[in-house]
Amino acid sequence: MKVNIPESDQKRVVIIGGGFAGINLARKLAKSNYQVVLVDKNNYHQFQPLFYQVAMAGLEPSSIAFPLRKIFQKHKNIYIRITKVLEADLPNKCLKTTLGIMNFDYLVIAVGADTNFFGNENMAKYCIPMKSVGEALYLRNAIFNDYEIALSTDNFEERQGFIDVVIVGGGPTGVEVAGALAEMRQYILPKDYPELDNKEVDIYLVQSGNRLLKGMSTEAADKALIYLEKLGVKIILNNRVTNVDENFAYLKDGTTIRSRKVIWAAGITGNIIKGLPEDCIVRGNRLKVNEFNQVECYDNVFAIGDIAYMEEEAAFPKGHPQVAQVAIQQGKHLADNLKKMSKGKPLKPFKYNDLGAMATIGRHLAVVDLPRFKTQGSFAWLVWLFVHLFSLIGMRNKVIVFINWVWNYFTYDQSLRLIIKVKERNGKKV
């Protein structure tokens, strides 16, 4: 059975993935001579940099998600299909999906990456990742549900398991989660849970290297360490979590930390689709592409964003960083090249323009590395707010997030701490 898509004289570009890469590619092809089919298992785009604020009850999921159909509702050459891709049949130019067979003239793989547990089954079972809105909500539920249980737990050691948190990975996500948890402990717990002694709550940030924020400057790393320690976060460097179970995290040096919540922010791996040639898959489950984002040995199959591995000899000999800016720039660049291709013009090689990196630690606390200057503290925090606010899709989302941030700034409080449980009905989760 074929997926029902109108036949057209236009060449069909099928884009798998509605993340930063896929969305920016589709947007730039919206008024082109191509028929564009955007495929995703979800019917919305997720703004990943703010997942942690959903998990910490700072924002609602609807504030950082935007319906795919609403983005493209005015463009007649864009078709949305919500389905899961099961396999790619590249020789026959088609995809096998849960809806049926989908043909393509050009295929763009923009499926992004998922959490990498490095083959440890216990970590995959017990650690809490944060690569989707659903996982962020799961973490939010776990935090507040355990606080509720802790209120009725008399035994000190057992109570620590419910209220202490271990964060694995000292990159931007780990640093931001640690800062948000520390502020929650300082401002929210005394209001919502006065029966709990917030001084009992321990937040551990475990980093295998000798510094935080590996991809950022030394100044940013040093300041982030200072800010987190002032907030009371326990930083553990040059160590790593080797195993976990339902109640404990086990470190390489033999240390054991009692916690039912181990948040995993220590690595990602590409979402490889069945049927792709194995000799094109390289380190990190990424697809090796040339300077035009073409998957090796194919002139009609492209990969962009986190899943793409492209070497730039001087600047990025080990591939580009798996960050939003790379995905956005590759999506826009590929759209320009596809337009050139339709006109028989030569393609332009991709060159990544590094716009910098940033991370927020808490109120008035952030670190920002930009190409021409570096800054930390209050000004960096304002820069972080501005960049993330205007990167959101949709005016409604921008306004709601802005209002939430302003309200939280003046009140030190948010009324979003809901435990939303999933129920089953007729064997299905609802």
Q: Are strands 308-309 and 286-288 parallel, antiparallel or unpaired?
A: parallel
Nearest to residue 68, comparing CAs of 49, 50, 42, 47? 42
Which residue type is seen at 346?
P
Nearest to residue 188, comparing CAs of 230, 143, 129? 143
Rounded-to-integer distance, Cα 268 and Cα 102, Å: 29
The residues facing 115 across adjacent strands are: 268
Residue 334 corresponds to which tokens in the numbers above? 């590929």
Rounded-to-integer distance, Cα 9 and Cα 11, Å: 7
C-beta separation of 375 from 383 below 8 A = yes
Please report where in the chains the tokens 């302003």 appear, as a residue.
Answer: 406
C-beta separation of 303 from 110 below 8 A = yes
* CA angle centred on 221, ends 411 and 314, rounded to 5°: 130
Rounded-to-integer distance, Cα 267 and Cα 215, Å: 13
Query: Up-side HSE of residue 138: CA atoms within 13 Å toward CB?
Result: 13
Rounded-to-integer distance, Cα 335 and Cα 33, Å: 11
Cβ-based neighbours of 66, under 8 Å, separated by 6 or more = 44, 45, 47, 392, 393, 394, 397
Catalytic residues: 176
- Taking the CA atoms of residue 78, residue 292, residue 88 and residue 110 in that order, the dihedral angle to the nearest 10 degrees is -60
Exposed, middle or buried, 314 (CB in 10 Å: 0-12/13-18/19+)? exposed
- Taking the CA atoms of residue 79, residue 84, residue 86 and residue 89 in that order, the dihedral angle to the nearest 10 degrees is 10
Where residue 254 falls (left for φ over 0; alpha for ψ -120 to 50; beta otherwise) is left
